[in-house]
Amino acid sequence: MENQESAEISLRSSRWFAATDLRSFGHRSRAAQLGYSAADYAGKPVIAIVNTWNSLSPCHAHFPERVEAVRRGVLQAGGFPLEFPALSLSEPFQKPTTMLYRNLLAMEVEETLRSHPIDGAVLMGGCDKTTPGLIMGASSADMPSVFMPAGPMLPGRWGNTVLGSGSDSWKFWDQKRAGTISEDDWAGIEAGIARSPGHCMTMGTASTMTSAAEALGLTLPGAASIPAAFSDHARMAAESGRLAVDLALKGRTPASFLTKTSFENAITVVMALGGSTNAIIHLIAMARRLEIDVSLDDFDRVSRDVPVIANIRPSGEYLMEAFYDAGGLPALMRMLGELLDGSAETVAGSTLGQDIASATVFNNDVIRPLDNPIAGEGALAVLRGSLAPDGAVIKTSAATEELLHHRGPAVVFDGYKDMKARIDDESIHIDANSVLILRDAGPIGGPGMPEWGQLPIPARLLKQGVTDMVRISDARMSGTSYGACVLHVAPESALGGPLALVETGDIIELDTKNRRLDLLVDEDVLESRRAAWKRPEPKYARGYGALAAAQITQANEGCDFAILEGAAPTPEPAIY
């Protein structure tokens, strides 16, 4: 009895349930109304199962089953599981962009965990922005939490062709525009590219971010690589539930073990995977929630030393099921050797080195050795220069090498609608040497920095055999995309950054080796244009969109809301 009373007092949820006052009477009686008795929760850690499922979230279509697996694990470990639905950021369907709502998910998770009688959490996510949103919210709530990745879907099929979501969508769409595949072919690709629950099975933003979460130490070892449809995935979900109970009893929160070293390990893994450019924004935002200093410079420094060794589309050949069969993320991390710091602690209290010590590579074409990489440097490069004073990024591993140093005349589009209306206009002079510019697509301008950065190549050039061009924007692009696309230009055009001053015909120089992006126009000309520039009208006059425009930071700062950054203490709710 004494041990039980001690547990009740030490648990955060005991503030709601253990007292003898009127408020606790209300909490216990309403729990009884829900069908629970004191035997369900008294002296037991209350574990929130934070579920980002809805009926239009194909990446999370299997989550109703996985909730039951997590619940089983929590009960086995002596906890009390409660499901809390959270905003589901469905990448294929939600407009104008899920990025606009990442911070809303983070706010919801933080306030849900803080305001309820919760001792720990299992965070169920995977579709692109759910991973950072969940982790940002749980970190700010300072809640013991384990992240449970959704897992990639199984490979797509079109006849004998293996399809990868996103990457092959863009490829075959260009072929359709060029007239090299038929409408029937396109219909067959549409029917076969996504055949199971789970997020993109290419190394898009979803697999990049779940892998980054594992490299940070926020998941069970190997969790990020397991395909969603595999029975291994259900077992991992149950084990995540058991671990959450242990975390709650120990009070082990993300802030108690995540360090700058943890984030450098995550950056290293992103580079070795050929990961998404979006990881830069998300990891910076996640680190800033914990007051850990991570900047664009960290990504560029790590990228120069870390080769791409995951042979996964869009940088390579294979898909995530093959990566899992080849040993998965633990095998890749072990292959990285001293490029990772194995002393970093993980959520379970072990070290990263201990977690990957027995990992084995079963296919060294899928997970390459360091002396036979896909690319000699990491996937991403950070650029600066007169066109991007605060930085821009390019995914070098997925770009045409000849375009990584390029000089050409700009063709400017003012927003997505303008680009869509005019990209195939044959009266506009565009050739393979042109540099396509898209502005008004940043965090404020987009709004929400949509994935518009892989600007389409004009159909007439596709028919001539042109497959890549230099394209520059303040937008993002899908992690499944490819091409010589310069993204995240900061400051964005909606704030009057240099991108706002570019005119068609201006000469742009991209020099990736020297990390430069320059607008070759005299300063006095730019000063005249700057004086004539007018800030665009706000996209939203009210509501969440107006809040986002007022609070969102720039791409190089993580696109978080200024009021949400940092680890300043927020008081526990008063229970009156």
**Residues 44-96 pLDDT 10s:** 999 999 999 999 999 999 999 999 999 999 999 999 999 999 999 999 999 99
Say if residue 363 is exposed, middle or buried (CB neighbours under 10 Å; 0-12, 13-18, 19+). Answer: middle
pLDDT digits (tens, 9 = 90+) for 239-289: 999 999 999 999 999 999 999 999 999 999 999 999 999 999 999 999 999
Q: Is the pLDDT of residue 369 over 50?
A: yes
- At 525-555, the pLDDT tens digits run 999 999 999 999 999 999 999 999 999 999 9
Phi, psi of 204 (to 5 degrees): -85, -165
Task: Return the pLDDT at 109.
Answer: 98
Residue-range domains of the chain with CATH: 44-154+196-356 (3.40.50.2300), 157-192 (no CATH), 380-556 (3.50.30.80)
DSSP 408: E
Q: Residue for token digits 């050797």?
A: 337
- Cα–Cα–Cα angle for 54, 59, 64, rounded to 5 degrees: 50
- Asked whether residue 366 carries a pLDDT value surpassing 50, the answer given is yes
pLDDT for position 5: 43
Asked if residue 9 has pLDDT above 50, the reply is no
Looking at residues 455-460, what average pLDDT do you find?
96
CA atoms of 464 and 262, how far apart (whole Å): 47
Q: Locate 344 and state its tokens.
A: 């970093």
Mean pLDDT of 201-206: 96
- What is the chain's mean pLDDT, rounded? 96
Q: Does residue 8 register a pLDDT over 60?
A: no
d(CA 302, CA 329): 18
∠ Cα 61 333 215 (to 5°): 55
Spatial distance between the Cα atoms of 89 and 109, rounded to a whole number of angstroms: 13
Chain centre distance of CA 109? 16
Phi-psi region of 335 (alpha: psi -120 to 50; beta: other; left: phi over 0): alpha
Rounded Cα distance, 423 and 380, in Å: 27
Other C-beta atoms within 10 Å of 263: how many? Answer: 23
**Cα separation, 358 vs 373, whole angstroms:** 22
Express each pLDDT in 401-450 by its tens digit.
Answer: 999 999 999 999 999 999 999 999 999 999 999 999 999 999 999 999 99
pLDDT tens-digit series, residues 346-360:
999 999 999 999 999
CB 445 within 8 A of CB 420: no
Q: Residue 473 and residue 469: Cα distance in Å, rounded?
A: 13
Q: How many percent of the chain have pLDDT more than 90? A: 95
Distance CA 306, CA 377 (A): 5
* HEC letters along 361-396: CCCCCCECCCCCCCECCCCEEEEEECCEEEEEEEEH
Do residues 442 and 476 make contact, with C-beta atoms less than 8 angstroms apart? no
What is the model's pLDDT at position 6? Answer: 44
Average pLDDT score over residue span 192-207: 97
Amino acid 298: pLDDT: 98
Query: In this structure, are residues 157 and 195 in contact, taking their beta carbons and an 8 Å threshold?
Result: yes
Contact between residue 245 and residue 373 where contact means Cβ atoms under 8 Å apart: no
Closest CA to 320 of 223, 218, 215: 223
CA-nearest of 501, 537, 542, 552 to 522 is: 501
